[in-house]
A and B are shown apart, each in its own frame.
Chain A
Amino acid sequence: MDIKEFLDQDQKKDLLRLLTAGSVDDGKSTLIGRLLFDSKKLYEDHLAALERDSKREGHAGGEIDYALLLDGLKAEREQGITIDVAYRYFSTNKRKFIIADTPGHEQYTRNMITGGSTANLAILLVDARHGVITQTKRHTFLVSLLGIKHVVVAINKMDLVDYSKEVYDKIVEDYKSFVTSLGIPDINFIPLSALKGDNVVDLSERMPWYHGTSMLEFLETVHVTSDKNFEDLRYPVQYVIRPDLKYRGFAGRMASGILRKGDEVMVLPSRQKAFVKSIDTYNGELAYAFPPQSVTVALDREIDVSRGEMLVPPNNIPRIERHFEAMLVWMDEKPMDPYTQFYIKQTTNNTKARIDKLRFKIDVNTLEKSQADHFELNEIGRVVMTTVKPLFFDPYKKNHNTGSFVLIDPITHNTVAVGMILDKVSGDHYSRLTLHDSQKIVKGESLISEKERQKRYNQKGSTLWITGLHGSGKNELAYSLEKRLFEMGATVVLLDGKSVRSGLSRELDFSPADRAEHLRRVAHICKLLNDQGVITICSFVSPDENTRTQVAEIIGENRFKLIHLDADIEFAKKNDKYGLYKMAENAELKHMPGIDDRYEEPQSADITIKAEDDGKNVEGILEKLAEWKIFPRE
């Protein structure tokens, strides 16, 4: 084998990114120094052995301070500690390694989060003399927060505990007892002495009881490819390439999943569909692309796609939401001001966001949760957020690339916080009013009691919410019901899309996000009217179960009655007076439930009426109202 073959083989090696965490005293720098130094020698040996005429001198002997190999910035040297994340590089003939070297001091949680965000694996240093300490737990928690799937606990300074198996066993046991709750899938333990070189590159004869691999061998062989998400295609468009009128390519980096030539894809947020005509690169066309490749995708038809939009499979779409919950890490010296509207960047999407609610903050040392009204540097907690534009995301756990974001201060432009999305907001908190805003509002107290109102009007203020496809006959039903109730002496108000959108919601469109905001307003009107003892009848498509649930929460579940006017899509099309379905089918209208958007059947409607059979029959409803003591029957 000559140098050419060596290089041919060498360029096939893959890349492993790892994080090291531990304090100055754990011997972390010594371990890294040794990995860098010894692997270089090995690498050269490998090459030299192949050539059989090594010009190299023998291995450097004597006392080497491995930690000195790593010195960096002046300030760091003056302080004698690592002040930030430093990246180190080393190679063997099997792999290239990038080490994000981060300090273990508490005030620098931020640096560990920074260094660990792209890591496949974390090495946590434990001093064999001290065992599992608070710092070890803190580092492990941060590793689990970042979703790093492989952990190596390097039990260092074994030379100082006489290479004792008992000491090692005790530390392993202690570590296992607290780590189980954190859900890290792959945990390994290696006893070593970085200073003496035991079990770093070669297995040590001084620990015959240890049957695992050396640190370097472990790093060379650990299997990380399958940690990537190859299931859910997510292709955030980064840049549009238009060299001429013929070619339009959408440049981007595969966030997850596999994209194949000929695949059908859907563009978010427009939900237009197309087929992949080609996957182009400088080196030629590809049959398929996978993460983390950077490619350019051409589609088979003219669709307007721009930066920040996403290609996904039509049958497997991410969350499209403006509201979500996330774990947030505060990274800025300046404490969080909860009234700030931040810039948020997630995949290639830029918009604005505010923090609606702080559910709790978490103590990284004890993992105890507590209430908080803001975060300070290095604090971590769970928040509810709202963005101005909807984001396309997956929970971070499932997809690091689409579940992560950064917050940028609108004035200083510093990156002040980073987040990992848990999921969309679970039902109970739907309001764009922040906690703080609502605390500032003092509600006046009426001198009229609910009972007095009920007696005067002879009714219980409630909302009858009719949902169904456009064309199902909701309005006809609503107007008939209103008329019957009025004749019977009820005090009743009818709200429908037309009346509310012509004024109160006139700036909102039919996108899922604006539709939700529109219904939020309607819900608050209903709440006010119901508080005054008035019955409201609402006629809205309200296609989304989540939104309906949230509407019910605003109004009050006990006075919200959901009526589902269940219509077949063909029936609805026939009954469509405005020709909306035609327009939607011709793509002149977007977000039409039943056509290019979903209509989710209610899971638990209070009344279900078949539109085809009984669409205008209000008698059944009146009976129910009497039964529920909302309005008596004669």
Chain B
Amino acid sequence: MNQYKLNNLRELEAESIHIIREVAAEFENPVMLYSIGKDSSVMVRLAEKAFHPGKVPFPLMHIDSKWKFREMTAFRDRYAKENNWDLIVHYNKKGFEEGVGPFTHGSKVHTDIMKTQALLEGLTKYGFDAAFGGARRDEEKSRAKERVFSFRDRYHQWDPKNQRPELWNIYNARVHKGESIRVFPLSNWTELDIWQYIRLEEIPIVPLYFAKERPIVEWSNALILVDDERMPKELADTAKMRKVRFRTLGCYPLTGAVESEADTVEKIVEEMMTVTKSERTTRVIDFDQEASMEQKKREGYF
């Protein structure tokens, strides 16, 4: 029976493609949220696969906090263009004009205004009734219980105690006007699966994931890249060249680098499997408060 057996990655792939197609078939106006991270890159490839040889029938939306690494933005624009995606870039105009940023307002206010509020604004503006996100259940504890189709009320809020039962591969896509579903096609993927798949499928990812000599400062107990001139000068002046890479990507002042020699996917996996720190701990926002991610999710953040 071996000829009728799928390996782990191909089974995950088949499941994700099925989920993505269900959304395209049953919702009127879906969107794929694109964070430019490695998980997003995998999700985007799965969408391309799901509708091959046709075009993906929904757009990508990137919520730009205006504090992303410059390499991310460049990668985003190039990828969307080369792969013929409709790309929406949305940012919180008011917050941007008022100069909200992590150096001046702290991570909590910045994340709330430039990420959570911006996301809700973007979803409302275009009237999306379904939004794909690249979250995985293994990356963070509160996500372990979230459904693949995660219902949000008209205020975009998640109620962990009142989730729709989800059985077999049958997804309930019914929502009233104003309500929506967040869809997580990568729910069952682990970090190792993601890297294995990137390797297998040769999926392009932002170069920041690979170790390289970069100008680094120490700030808030993290190694922060000097990415642009908005970093306070006295801080930027402390920069030293260090060989680092990023395990996750977000706003540059809030995303800590790790010292590393891993400059290939293989070496990253090797490093990942022999270092025991969990992946998200390099993100500054998680330390804000106890169970902060769950709180943010209830408020509408992914």
Chain A interface residues (CB < 8 Å from chain B)? 3-4, 7, 10-15, 43-44, 47-48, 51, 54-56, 71-75, 83-89, 91, 95-96, 98, 110, 113-114, 117-118, 225-226, 228, 230, 238-239, 241-243, 247, 249, 251, 253, 258, 280-283, 290, 292-294, 296, 307, 331, 343, 345-346, 348, 350, 400-401, 404-406, 408, 413-415, 418
Contact = CB atoms under 8 A, between A and B. Distances in A.
Contacts of B25: 238-239, 307, 348
A405 B196 CA distance: 34
Given A72-B145, A247-B53, A294 B21 contact: yes
B7 A14 contact: yes
A48 B274 contact: yes
Interface string B157-176: 00011011111111010111
B11 A15 contact: yes
B6 A293 contact: yes
Interface in B170-205: 170, 172, 174-176, 187-188, 190, 192-193, 196, 199-200
B274 A406 contact: no
B265 to A, nearest CB: 8
Nearest to B14: A294
B13 to A, nearest CB: 8
B5 to A, nearest CB: 5
B50 A294 contact: yes
A249 to B, nearest CB: 7
Interface stretch (B63-71, B134-142, B221-229): B134-142
A414 B6 CA distance: 33
Interface in B19-55: 21-22, 24-26, 48-55
Given A11-B9, A253-B14, A294-B21, A110 B188 contact: no
A75 B11 contact: no
Nearest to B270: A3
B8 interface: yes
A239 B57 CA distance: 11
Interface string B265-296: 01101100110000000000000000100100
A405 B160 CA distance: 24
B12 A401 contact: no
Contacts of B273: 43-44, 47
B165 A331 contact: yes
Contacts of A110: 165
Contacts of B49: 281-283
B15 interface: yes
**Which of the listed residues B22, B144, B176, B193 has the most CB atoms from chain A within 10 Å of its own CB?**
B144
A526 B94 CA distance: 75
A398 to B, nearest CB: 15
A406 B173 CA distance: 12
B74 interface: no
B211 interface: no
A317 B55 CA distance: 33
Task: Say whether chain B's binding surface is mostly helix, strand, loop, or mixed.
Answer: helix
A258 B266 contact: no
Contacts of B160: 73, 75, 84
B52 A345 contact: no
A271 to B, nearest CB: 23
Contact of A258 (B4, B54, B187, B291): B4
B142 A72 contact: yes
Contact of B190 (A7, A13, A91): A91
B274 A282 contact: no
A72 B270 CA distance: 28
Instruction: Give 3 nearest A-B pairs by CB, closest first.
Output: A282-B49, A294-B17, A117-B167
Given A290-B4, A408-B174, A88 B144 contact: yes
B167 A113 contact: yes
B294 A47 contact: no
B51 A251 contact: yes
Contacts of A43: 273
Contacts of B144: 72, 86-88
A445 B294 CA distance: 66
Contacts, number: 187
Given A243-B54, A283-B49, A415-B166, 9 more contacts: A7-B266, A73-B145, A73-B294, A225-B2, A345-B170, A348-B25, A404-B170, A406-B172, A413-B176
Given A48-B274, A73-B160, A225 B4 contact: yes
Contacts of A228: 4
Contacts of B22: 238, 348
A89 B137 contact: yes
24 contacts: A13-B7, A55-B274, A56-B274, A72-B142, A73-B160, A75-B160, A84-B145, A84-B160, A91-B190, A98-B188, A110-B165, A228-B4, A230-B4, A239-B21, A241-B53, A258-B4, A283-B49, A294-B21, A345-B170, A346-B170, A405-B170, A406-B167, A415-B165, A415-B166
Contacts of A10: 196
A225 B291 CA distance: 39
A410 to B, nearest CB: 9
Contacts of B8: 11, 13-15, 95-96
Nearest to B12: A15
A83 B200 CA distance: 38
Nearest to A348: B25
Nearest to B18: A253
Nearest to B45: A282
A239 B13 CA distance: 17
A7 B196 contact: yes
Contacts of B24: 239
A235 B196 CA distance: 29
Contact of A401 (B7, B13, B169, B172): B169
Contacts of A239: 21, 24-25, 51
B69 to A, nearest CB: 27
A75 B83 CA distance: 43
**Which of the listed residues A281, A408, A413 has the most CB atoms from chain B within 10 Å of its own CB?**
A413
B267 A3 contact: yes
A247 B51 CA distance: 12
A413 B170 contact: no
Given A241-B54, A253-B18, A406 B1 contact: no
Contact of A238 (B13, B21, B164, B168): B21
A305 B107 CA distance: 52
Contacts of B17: 253, 294
Nearest to A350: B26
Contacts of A253: 14, 17-18, 169
Contacts of B267: 3
B251 to A, nearest CB: 26
Given A47-B270, A73-B294, A404-B170, A91 B141 contact: no
Contacts of B291: 73-74
